[in-house]
């Protein structure tokens, strides 16, 4: 969507320096900005290059506003956040036109709200419900009795197993699998594994984003839950019965065994592994590749844990240093 500097600034509750009728039609990095682009500046180091860039306007902190520059400026408190919001505003009109592609296969008992997009070859199962403004990408398979809220975006080739529920404004990237069977067996007297029932559900809250090829299992008998605002990267695995809190961040390739509890505001870096029934309490930060054993509880808002088994960062670094010193002595 094209928008004037003034309109963008009003949306951001900012203040414009310079002429405010210039037209913006997108965001860019300073290095790639061309005419019509908006950029942002967070510190003095990037200011000079921003001024020399081809950008039409820049978002700045008040700090820089006393200078006299030739660029149009939108002055705000948090340039990065304002930039993110401006980007959403400028892209909002790019949304797909609603409509159901003739090659999509929609069950006659599915309930579709207004303004929905169903792309080519998507399959929507019996009694599934899709909310207003949601887009189901090409090749997605939405199982029976699935419920998807409004303004969601499912990229292509996503599979949603029967009975899964998604809230509003959920983004699911390509190839993700939601609501698959958990990994549970009972060994019989002959030593063979028999499947334990995986008949629970998966519920995903509002404003969650799920990365490409990530897999989230349904509960065995209960419900796997992903809390509002959680952000989950690519190739993450979340096992059955996990309870993920609100505003949790999980980076790529992290894996959660069954029945793990992650409280609100936890941050997990990439390739972390968590054993069954572990609990990560509010605000904990788990470093990349760290391993949290089964049944373990990690506690401490803002505390960074590292290593396997995960321990406070300071302890971890001290152990590394001791080992390094001993090895050098030899």
**Where does the chain have alpha helices with state H?**
5-12, 44-52, 79-91, 313-329
Report if residue 19 touches a copy of itself, rule: CB under 8 A: no
Using the rule CB under 8 A, which residue among 8, 50, 57, 251 binds a copy of itself? Answer: 251
Report if residue 26 touches a copy of itself, rule: CB under 8 A: yes
Q: Which residues of 86-95 are buried (b: 16+ CB within 10 A; e: fewer)?
A: beebbeeeee
CA distance 231 to 249: 5
The residue (of 149 and 200) whose beta carbon lies closer to a copy of itself is 200
Contact segment (CB under 8 A) with a copy of itself among 5-13, 63-71, 128-136, 193-201 equals 193-201
Using the rule CB under 8 A, which residue among 13, 19, 29, 111 binds a copy of itself? Answer: 29
Using the rule CB under 8 A, which residue among 131, 133, 139, 163 binds a copy of itself? Answer: 139
CA distance 164 to 99: 23
DSSP code per residue over 115-148: T-EE-TT-EE-TT-EE-TT-EE-TT-EE-TT-EE
Using the rule CB under 8 A, which residue among 68, 108, 114, 327 binds a copy of itself? Answer: 327
Report if residue 155 touches a copy of itself, rule: CB under 8 A: yes
Residue 268 in tokens = 């997990």
Report if residue 48 touches a copy of itself, rule: CB under 8 A: no
CB of residue 64 to a copy of itself, shortest distance in Å: 19
Residues with catalytic function: 240
DSSP code per residue over 251-279: -TT-EE-TT-EE-TT-EE-TT-EE-TT-E
Instruction: Tell me the residue length of the chain.
Output: 330
Using the rule CB under 8 A, which residue among 51, 174, 304, 313 binds a copy of itself? Answer: 174
Report if residue 231 touches a copy of itself, rule: CB under 8 A: yes
Given a contact cutoff of 8 angstroms between Cβ atoms, the answer to whether 220 and 199 are in contact is yes
CA 67-70-73 angle, 5° bins: 70
Report if residue 270 touches a copy of itself, rule: CB under 8 A: yes
Site size for a copy of itself, by CB under 8 A?
A: 101
CB of residue 189 to a copy of itself, shortest distance in Å: 8
CB of residue 21 to a copy of itself, shortest distance in Å: 24
Report if residue 49 touches a copy of itself, rule: CB under 8 A: no
Given a contact cutoff of 8 angstroms between Cβ atoms, the answer to whether 186 and 196 are in contact is yes
The residue (of 19 and 300) whose beta carbon lies closer to a copy of itself is 300
Contacts (CB under 8 A) with a copy of itself, residues 67-86 = 78, 80-81, 83-85
User: For strand 267-268 and strand 285-286, is the pairing parallel, antiparallel, or unpaired?
Assistant: parallel
């Amino acid at each position: 969507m094209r928008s004037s500097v003034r309109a963008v600034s009003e949306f951001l509750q900012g203040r414009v320096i310079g002429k405010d009728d210039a037209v913006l039609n997108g965001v860019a990095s300073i290095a790639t900005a061309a005419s019509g682009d908006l950029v942002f500046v967070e510190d003095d180091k990037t200011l000079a290059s921003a001024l020399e860039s081809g950008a039409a306007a820049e978002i700045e902190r008040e700090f820089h506003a006393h200078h006299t520059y030739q660029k149009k400026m939108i002055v705000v408190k948090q340039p990065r956040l304002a930039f993110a919001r401006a980007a959403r505003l400028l892209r909002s009109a790019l949304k797909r036109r609603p409509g159901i592609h003739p090659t999509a296969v929609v069950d006659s008992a599915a309930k579709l709200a207004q303004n929905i997009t169903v792309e080519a070859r998507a399959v929507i199962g019996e009694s599934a419900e899709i909310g207003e403004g949601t887009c189901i990408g090409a090749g997605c398979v939405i199982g029976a009795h699935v419920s998807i809220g409004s303004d969601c975006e499912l990229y292509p080739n996503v599979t949603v197993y029967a009975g899964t529920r998604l809230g509003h404004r959920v983004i699911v990237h390509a190839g993700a699998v939601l609501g698959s069977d958990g990994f549970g067996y009972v060994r019989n007297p002959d030593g063979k594994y028999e499947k334990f029932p995986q008949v629970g559900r998966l519920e995903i809250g509002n404003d969650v984003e799920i990365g490409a090829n990530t897999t989230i299992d349904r509960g065995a008998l209960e419900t796997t839950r992903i809390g509002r605002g959680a952000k989950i990267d690519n190739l993450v695995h979340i096992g059955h019965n996990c309870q993920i809190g609100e505003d949790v961040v999980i980076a790529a390739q992290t894996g959660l065994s069954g029945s793990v509890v992650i409280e609100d505001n936890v941050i997990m870096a990439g390739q972390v592994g968590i054993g069954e029934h572990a609990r990560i309490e509010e605000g904990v930060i788990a470093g990349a590749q760290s391993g949290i054993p089964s049944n373990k509880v990690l506690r401490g808002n803002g505390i960074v844990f590292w290593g396997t088994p995960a321990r406070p960062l300071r302890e971890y670094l001290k152990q590394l240093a001791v080992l390094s010193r001993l090895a050098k002595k030899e």
